[in-house]
């Protein structure tokens, strides 16, 4: 029996329970994720994609079900405790970085994800900054010369690139990307998508990526999942995915 990197067992989530606004958003989600899987997650607006990722990362306690990361239950851990193992990039470029802190300072925060943060040690030592400079160079945005610039002064695309780097600076057991290119202009979105793929394949990361771009969903990753009204309705493996065309996928999507 293969051990799964990550398992979702029968998750249910209802918002505003017992009120007129009661909304059953996740209706029994089951998913087994192998180590190194790069899953693209698609589905219509309001189908529960973000809610699923938020449930995994611990934005709210889930009503029912289990989350197993490397066979350990994590569903009762707090969000910041799960963040030791889970990297995240949000749709909103403002959410992933600290605007008043410099690029170097943001990266130093990310470098310490999951480690003890010292009250004595300087966060941005010259050694650390040298390493950051190398990492940022990989983004090919010229930001390595602006490590002391406040993040708030960067464009959305630049910020999202830094957020992406921050989410993998300490290798995560699971990387969650929620439409992380949706708020960017098409050119930079394409660039960020390419970098995302590079980072995930190079570091053999296990990742779940929500995207509304069907072409991206087919081009990237080794598995494709579609959600509808809080349920997984389609689960394609690598070979099935390779046979699928955008048109066919669109047909399924609009059913």
Partner 1 sequence: MGIIVSTILQGLLWGLMAIGVFLTFRVLDMPDMTAEGSFPLGAAVCVTLIRSGVHPLIAALVGGFSGMLAGAMTALLITKCGLPALLAGILTMTGLYSINLRILGRANLSLNGYQKMDNLLDSFHFPPYFNMLFIAVAIIGVIVILLALLFKTEAGQALIATGDNEQMARSMAINTDLMKIYMLMLSNGLIALAGAFIAQDSGYADISSGIGTIVIGLASVIIGEVIFGRVSLTYRFICVILGSIIYRFILMLVIRLGLNPNDLKLISAILLAICLALPQLRMKLKQLVFLKKEV
Ligand X SMILES: Nc1ncnc2c1ncn2[C@@H]1O[C@H](COP(=O)(O)OP(=O)(O)O)[C@@H](O)[C@H]1O
Task: For Cα atoms 210, 50, 136, give the angle at the middle one, nearest 5 degrees.
Answer: 55
CB nearer to ligand X: pick between 49 and 88: 49
Rounded to 10 degrees, the C-alpha dihedral 25/45/32/110 comes to -100
Query: Contacts with ligand X in 16-35 (CB under 6 A)?
Result: 23, 25
In angstroms, give the least distance from the CB of 26 to ligand X. Answer: 8
183 binds partner 1 (CB under 8 A): no
Closest CA to 29 of 63, 60, 59, 1: 63
228 binds ligand X (CB under 6 A): no
Euclidean distance between the first and final Cα of the chain, in Å? Answer: 36
Q: Is residue 10 within 8 Å of residue 66, measured between CB atoms?
A: yes
Q: Is residue 108 within 8 Å of residue 128, measured between CB atoms?
A: yes
143 binds ligand X (CB under 6 A): no
123 binds partner 1 (CB under 8 A): yes
Which one among 50, 197, 222, 228 touches Mg ion, defined by CB under 5 A? 50
User: 88 touches which of partner 1, ligand X, Mg ion, none (CB within 5 to 8 A by kind)?
Assistant: partner 1
User: 241 touches which of ligand X, Mg ion, partner 1, none (CB within 5 to 8 A by kind)?
Assistant: none
31: part of which helix (H) or strand (E)?
strand 23-33
The partner residues of 26 in beta bridges, in order of sequence, read 13
Mark the segment that binds ligand X (CB under 6 A) among 41-49, 66-74, 148-156, 161-169: 41-49
Q: Is residue 149 within 8 Å of residue 100, measured between CB atoms?
A: no
Residue numbers of the site for partner 1 (CB under 8 A)? Answer: 57, 79-81, 83-84, 88, 90, 94-101, 105, 108-110, 112-114, 117-124, 166
Residue numbers of the site for ligand X (CB under 6 A)? Answer: 15, 23, 25, 43, 45-51
């Amino acid at each position: 029996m293969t051990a799964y990197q990550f398992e979702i067992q029968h998750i249910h989530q209802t918002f505003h329970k017992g009120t007129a606004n009661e909304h059953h958003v996740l209706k029994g989600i089951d998913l087994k994720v192998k180590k190194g899987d790069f899953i693209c997650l698609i589905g219509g607006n309001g189908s529960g994609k973000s809610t699923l990722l938020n449930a995994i990362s611990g934005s709210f306690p889930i009503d029912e079900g289990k989350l197993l990361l490397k066979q350990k239950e994590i569903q009762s851990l707090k969000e910041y405790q799960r963040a030791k193992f889970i990297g995240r990039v949000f749709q909103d470029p403002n959410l992933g970085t600290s605007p008043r802190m410099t690029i170097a300072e943001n990266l130093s925060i990310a470098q310490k994800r999951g480690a003890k943060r010292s009250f004595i040690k300087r966060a941005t030592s010259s050694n650390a900054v040298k390493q950051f400079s190398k990492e940022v160079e990989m983004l090919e945005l010229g930001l390595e010369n602006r490590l002391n610039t406040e993040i708030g002064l960067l464009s959305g695309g630049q910020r999202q690139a830094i957020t992406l780097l921050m989410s993998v600076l300490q290798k995560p057991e699971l990387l969650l990307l929620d439409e992380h290119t949706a708020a960017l202009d098409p050119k930079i979105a394409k660039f960020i998508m390419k970098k995302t793929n590079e980072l995930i394949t190079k570091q053999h990361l296990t990742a779940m990526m929500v995207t509304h771009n069907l072409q991206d969903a087919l081009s990237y990753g080794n598995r494709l999942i579609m959600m509808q009204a809080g349920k997984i309705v389609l689960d394609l493996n690598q070979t099935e995915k390779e046979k699928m065309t955008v048109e066919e996928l669109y047909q399924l999507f609009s059913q």
